[in-house]
């Protein structure tokens, strides 16, 4: 049974800080299919369409019949632990800092045998385990053997915390607390065990509904933050940038209409100023601080979360300029992910469907509630994924976009989805 994680002690500045090293990250092109699935929380392996062989490690051809018709298919991960060992020495700098480290050999029910990292609650062989794929600090997929029935505190396993961004005992910045989504996020983070939650509000002189309720939570501190004001972002980064472990950028401006239904560019400029340039200002000020603290102990800086929209994948004409601003933010977030990866900071992009708020009040159900969205974000942090598509609408759009982006574009242009 995993022992619950204790609140970390205050760091002693005299003691040596652990080096910022990444695990071995080199992978062949064929292996990137595992990483792509793990980024969304799935465990997939190559399956031959000709003979049905499930194979690992990935190859360019089937090991059984040499067919090149291979597809990535979801796996249950169920199998038998054949053997286990514990490393007490490693020539790799990343693992040398984290020894001892358990490994095991698992034979999946679907056929292949895998070398996996072992969760601390997995006992000695032989026994039944479930293999899952997670992203490591280098952003590459690794395989982990889990017990069939875990304990309440299994997320506190030291090895698993290296692969995830669990908010427990961490310090989080939520950039906008005036919206129902922001307030739901704050409550979910407090429930998940966050140590401190800084909550931004752009207009502190206004008495906004719900802010007083979250202000009363002992873990919450309200801070002035206007993402349109570069100086305000710089000042806040100077105050708390060196302490924040997780940044959640949920600030956004959402207006309806496309191009011809509205005159001028003022609204579109405002959407871009928050949805795109706001992210840019935030990343320029808080990004270097997070990168500098990514190896700072058990609760070091670990993640950056961007609230985007499923409309970023394909423009939704009734919300055309908003879709364009989110598409720009998506592209910028990909750049941010590439720049953060060498420091082991995970960038998580969230693509919800229509949220049940004032800007979608005329849209028919289903709509995603703020509490459901907040739960999806906390789950993404705990599971260590990179891309999240919460809600039925987002899942449907994603599938249609993957099937044929051009068909989806035509459908949206014809009937609005």
Cβ atoms 325, 272 nearer than 8 A: yes
pLDDT confidence of residue 25: 76
More confident residue, 23 or 317: 317
Please tell me the least confidently modeled range out of 158-172, 301-315, 330-344, 388-402.
158-172
pLDDT confidence of residue 92: 87
- What is the spatial distance between Cα 197 and Cα 212, in angstroms, rounded to a whole number? 15
Q: What is the 3-state secondary structure (H, E, C) of the chain?
A: CCCCCCCCCCCCCCCCCCCCCCCCCCCCHHHHHHHHHHCCCCCEEEEECCCCCEECCCCCCCCCCCCCCEEEEECCCEEEEEEEEEECCCCCHHHHCCCCEEEEEEEECCCCEEEEEECCCCCCCCEEEEEEEEECCCCCEEEEEEECCCCCCHHHCHHHHHHCCCCCCCEEEECCCCCHHHHHHHHHHHHCCCCEEEEEECCCCCCCCCHHHHHCCCCEEEEECCCCCHHHHHHHHHHHCCCCCEEEECCCCCCCCCCCCCCCCHHHHHHHHHHCHHHHHHHHHHHHHHHHCCCCCCCCCCEEEEECCHHHCCCCHHHHHHHHHHHHHHHHHHHHHHHHHHHCCEEEEECCCCECCHHHCCCCCCCECHHHHHHHHHHHHHHCCCEECCCHHHHHHHHHHHHCHHHHHHHHHHHCC
pLDDT in tens, 250-261: 999 998 888 887
Structure confidence at residue 243 as a pLDDT band (50, 70, 90): very high
pLDDT averaged over every residue in the chain: 90
**pLDDT higher than 70, residue 247:** yes
Structure confidence at residue 417 as a pLDDT band (50, 70, 90): low
* Mean local confidence (pLDDT), 46-59: 95
pLDDT in tens, 318-371: 999 999 999 999 999 999 999 999 999 999 999 999 998 877 777 778 899 999
**pLDDT higher than 60, residue 416:** no
pLDDT confidence of residue 415: 65
Tell me what percent of the residues of the chain surpass a pLDDT of 90.
Answer: 71
pTM of the model as a whole:
0.91
**What are the structural domains of the chain?**
29-163 (no CATH), 171-415 (3.40.50.720)
Tell me what percent of the residues of the chain surpass a pLDDT of 70.
Answer: 93
* Mean local confidence (pLDDT), 306-314: 97
pLDDT confidence of residue 210: 75
pLDDT in tens, 145-165: 999 887 778 888 888 888 889
pLDDT confidence of residue 59: 92
């Amino acid at each position: 049974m995993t022992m619950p994680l204790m609140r970390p002690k205050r760091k002693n500045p005299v003691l040596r800080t652990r080096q910022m090293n990444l695990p071995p990250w080199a992978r062949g092109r064929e292996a990137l299919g595992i990483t792509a699935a793990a980024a969304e929380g799935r465990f997939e392996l190559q399956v031959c369409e000709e003979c049905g062989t499930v194979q690992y490690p990935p190859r360019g051809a089937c090991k059984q019949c040499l067919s090149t018709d291979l597809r990535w298919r979801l796996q249950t991960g169920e199998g038998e632990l054949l053997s286990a060992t514990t490393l007490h020495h490693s020539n790799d700098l990343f693992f040398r800092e984290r020894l001892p480290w358990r490994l095991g050999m698992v034979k999946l029910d679907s056929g292949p045998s895998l070398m996996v990292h072992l969760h601390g609650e997995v006992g000695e062989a032989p026994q039944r385990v479930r293999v899952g794929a997670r992203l490591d600090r280098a952003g590459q997929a690794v395989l982990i053997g889990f017990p069939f029935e875990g304990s309440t505190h299994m997320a506190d396993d030291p090895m698993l915390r290296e692969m995830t961004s669990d908010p427990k005992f961490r310090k989080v910045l939520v950039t906008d607390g005036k919206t129902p989504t922001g307030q739901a996020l704050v409550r979910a983070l407090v429930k998940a065990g966050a140590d401190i939650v800084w909550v931004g509000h752009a207009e502190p002189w206004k008495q906004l509904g719900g802010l007083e309720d979250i202000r009363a939570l002992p873990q919450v501190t309200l801070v002035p933050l206007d993402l349109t004001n570069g100086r305000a972002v710089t000042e806040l980064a100077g105050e708390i940038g060196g302490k924040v472990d997780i940044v959640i950028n949920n600030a956004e401006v959402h207006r309806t209409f496309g191009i011809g239904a509205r005159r001028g560019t003022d609204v579109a400029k405002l959407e871009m100023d928050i949805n795109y340039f706001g992210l840019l200002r935030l990343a320029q000020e808080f990004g270097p601080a997070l990168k500098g603290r990514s190896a700072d102990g058990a609760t070091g800086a670990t993640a950056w979360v961007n609230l985007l929209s499923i409309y970023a994948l394909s423009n939704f004409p009734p919300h055309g300029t908003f879709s364009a601003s989110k598409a720009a933010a998506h592209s910028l977030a990909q750049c941010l992910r590439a720049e953060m990866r060498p420091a082991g900071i995970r960038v998580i992009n969230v693509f919800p469907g229509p949220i049940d708020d004032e800007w979608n009040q005329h849209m028919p159900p289903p709509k995603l509630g703020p509490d459901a969205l907040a739960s999806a974000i906390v789950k993404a942090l705990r599971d260590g994924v990179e891309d999240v598509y919460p809600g039925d609408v987002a899942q449907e759009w994603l599938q249609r976009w993957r099937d044929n982006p051009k068909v989806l574009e035509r459908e949206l242009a014809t009937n609005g989805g």
